[in-house]
């Protein structure tokens, strides 16, 4: 089974939304590897900060089937709710990589384009899988993070507990 990395984020009832997404992932895939959880500013500095982490799963679902499952989970967790405040995102589940696959596979672009430009994805991924190589760039995530421009890294680890397990330590939200 291929190792798959998922980006997970929320800025509306974020701790509850992340916990609900992790619960669903655990039920479906039975084993999760998780990065620490980070807080980052909303794009443009407006809005509630986002909480983000990266999860690793192993799956027999194809990329298209996995993408569909993730979108259904987003909908179940209220992703498109019209009652949300402007700029609020209940949950965002992004398929970052699927093993070593590259290109458009079953309608999914792999790896997800440009995810290495975002500190809130790259730092958690560098912690979770430091020796894993990006399928196209052929550099480890630790190397990519080391070269990341420091002034772009406006994120910080936070305290996050899920099912009495400390996922990360840092400043309280």
Q: What are the boundaries of each domain within the chain?
A: 3-168
> Per-residue confidence of the chain (173 residues) as pLDDT tens digits?
999 999 999 998 999 999 999 999 999 999 999 999 999 887 655 578 899 999 999 999 999 999 999 999 999 998 776 666 666 788 999 999 999 999 999 999 999 998 999 999 999 999 999 999 999 999 999 999 999 866 666 889 999 999 999 999 987 76
If you ran DSSP here, which 8-state letter would residue 80 be given? T
Residue 44's pLDDT is 57
> What secondary structure does DSSP assign to 2-70, as a single string?
-EEEEEEEESSSHHHHHHHHHHHHHHHHS--EEPPPEEEPPGGG-SSPEEEEEEEEE--S-HHHHHHHH
Beta strand 108-110 with 38-40 is: unpaired
> What pTM, to 2 d.p., does this model score?
0.93
Cα separation, 61 vs 34, whole angstroms: 20
Residue 84's pLDDT is 62
CATH ID of 3-168, from 3.40.50.970, 1.20.1440.230, 3.30.70.560, 3.90.1150.10: 3.30.70.560
Residue 16's pLDDT is 96
Q: Is the peptide bond before 111 cis (omega within 30 degrees of 0)?
A: yes
Residue 154's pLDDT is 81
Distance of CA 93 to the CA centre of its chain: 6
Residue 49's pLDDT is 87
CB 1 within 8 A of CB 99: no
């Amino acid at each position: 089974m291929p190792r798959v990395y998922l980006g997970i984020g929320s800025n509306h009832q974020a701790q509850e939304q992340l916990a609900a997404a992790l619960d669903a992932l655990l039920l479906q895939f039975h084993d999760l590897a998780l990065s620490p959880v980070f807080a980052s500013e909303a794009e443009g500095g407006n809005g509630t900060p986002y909480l983000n982490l990266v999860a690793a799963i192993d799956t027999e679902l194809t990329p298209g089937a996995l993408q569909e499952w993730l979108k259904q989970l987003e909908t179940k967790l209220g992703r498109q709710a019209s009652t949300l405040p402007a700029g609020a995102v209940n949950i965002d589940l992004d398929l970052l990589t699927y093993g070593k696959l590259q290109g458009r596979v079953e309608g999914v672009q792999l790896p997800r384009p440009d995810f290495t430009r975002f500190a809130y994805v790259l730092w958690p991924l560098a912690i979770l899988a430091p020796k894993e190589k990006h399928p196209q760039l052929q550099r480890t995530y630790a190397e990519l993070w080391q070269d990341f421009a420091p002034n772009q890294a406006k994120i910080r680890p936070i305290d996050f507990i899920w099912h009495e397990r400390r996922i990360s330590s840092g400043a309280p939200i």
